[in-house]
Amino acid sequence: MNNKLQCIVTDGQGIDNLALTEKPETAALSDNDVLVEVKAVSLNYRDLLVAKGLYGGSYEPPIIACSDMSGTVLDVGSKVTGLKPGDNVINSPFRSWLSGKMNSQKIRTFVGGLGVDGVLIEKLVYPASALVKMPEHMSFEEGSTLTIAGLTAWAAVMTHGKVQPGEWVLVHGTGGVSIFGAQIAKEAGAKVILTTSSEQKAKLVKERLGIKHIVDYRNEDWPKQVRDITDGAGVDVVVEIAGGETLARSIKACNYSARIGIIGILDDTYSKFKLFDVITKQISLRGMFMESTKELNALARFCEKNQLQPRIDKLFPFEQTIDAYKYLESQKHIGKVVISLQ
């Protein structure tokens, strides 16, 4: 093949430096690889960091941007089983984290950063073992949101959070991971408390997601409000996307044996809290860095069984990728920002 594929690349020197370019199409598939026509790509906070050089610095040559895609299988290698042309798929964010624990080899296959090409391209070749069939009820735009946001929320709430029906789950803000965390928790039979400083977002979350309990995190005493909502007990699972002082307050809002999934550092990379609170309440803190292909498949099947519909805030065409990045940066969204290649 001598065909050229359009893609968006980043050099890590700013959002405005995102560039449309062309790459040659792969001539032949390896035995265990799959050729996918990319239909949609969703954005994550990490994509902003990569574009700004805050996640691995600058790149020369530039790398293909983004990590989350959905698409249709066009061709499969000779040893591929379980996938065939015409299947709709989503990708694991790691090309070789199939199951089990993360390690130093697997982490280097995280696509869309640290020098590894991403998925914002018309067609791509991906290991069959790192692809999962997209939930049948979802559009391509919805399916593309599962790779990082959905999977990270799943890891925090289900894989490691082990939420049980009737338990309380605390999520911060209205970004992709937080909204997914709220949706997954509700489908699992848990009760959700969400924090936000925006009255408009609070109203929309109540109307669209049916989340009744919302507190304003600008009030320094919001942990007491959370405990009051939970009849003094505190929450059992926290989807912690902020870090810093927010994490310290999340700990104050916890029940005994609570599980905190630490995902982001929107507040600060450092946090000061009382270890005595963690010790006496036997609170577990665990860093969340997505999860394996096995867990992505579990999430996809959970969504399929429960007919969970990802919340998409805004859809941008391929040629407006820079606008999509800037909209995500504005933090006006509730849910996910998606780029369509269809």
Q: Cβ of 142: how many Cβ atoms within 10 Å?
A: 23
DSSP lists the bridge partners of residue 191 as 168
Coil, helix or strand for 329? helix
Q: Is the pLDDT of residue 56 over 90?
A: no
* Lowest model confidence (mean pLDDT) among 8-12, 184-188, 242-246, 289-293: 242-246
**Strands, E, within 96-167: which ranges?**
123-127, 131-133
Q: Cβ of 187: how many Cβ atoms within 10 Å?
A: 16
Sequence-distant (≥ 6) Cβ neighbours of residue 249 within 8 angstroms: 217, 220, 222, 223
How far, in Å, CA of 55 to CA of 52, rounded?
8
Q: Which of 286, 65, 259, 288 has its CA nearest to residue 162?
A: 259
Q: Is the pLDDT of residue 1 over 60?
A: no
CATH architecture of 161-287: 3-Layer(aba) Sandwich (3.40)
How far, in Å, CA of 132 to CA of 129, rounded?
8
What would the DSSP string read from start to end of 53-89?
A: T-SS---SS-EE--SEEEEEEEEE-TT--S--TT-EE
Q: Which of 262, 256, 237, 252 has its CA nearest to residue 164?
A: 237
Sheet holding 213-215, edge to edge: 213-215, 191-195, 168-172, 235-240, 254-262, 284-287
Distances (CA, A) of 188 to 155, 168, 205: 13, 11, 18
DSSP lists the bridge partners of residue 286 as 261
Contact 281, 304 (CB under 8 A): no
Q: Cβ of 24: how many Cβ atoms within 10 Å?
A: 10
- For the chain, the residue count is 342
Give the pLDDT confidence of 199-222 residue by residue, as tens digits.
888 998 899 889 999 999 988 899
Q: Which two tokens mark 11?
A: 């050099």
Banded pLDDT at 183 (limits 50, 70, 90): very high
For all residues of the chain together, what is the average pLDDT? 95
pLDDT at 279: 97
How far, in Å, CA of 59 to CA of 65, rounded?
11
pLDDT > 90 fraction of the chain, expressed in percent and rounded: 87
Q: Output the CATH code of domain 4-149+308-340.
A: 3.90.180.10
Q: Which of 295, 313, 315 has its CA nearest to residue 184?
A: 295
Give the pLDDT confidence of 130-143 residue by residue, as tens digits.
999 999 999 999 99
Average confidence (pLDDT) over 269-294: 95
148 DSSP 8-state letter: I
Give the pLDDT confidence of 18-50 residue by residue, as tens digits.
999 999 998 789 999 999 999 999 999 999 999
Banded pLDDT at 267 (limits 50, 70, 90): confident
Largest CA distance in the chain: 66
Average confidence (pLDDT) over 111-119: 95
Give ranges for CATH 3.40.50.720 in the chain. Answer: 161-287
Give ranges for CATH 3.90.180.10 in the chain. Answer: 4-149+308-340
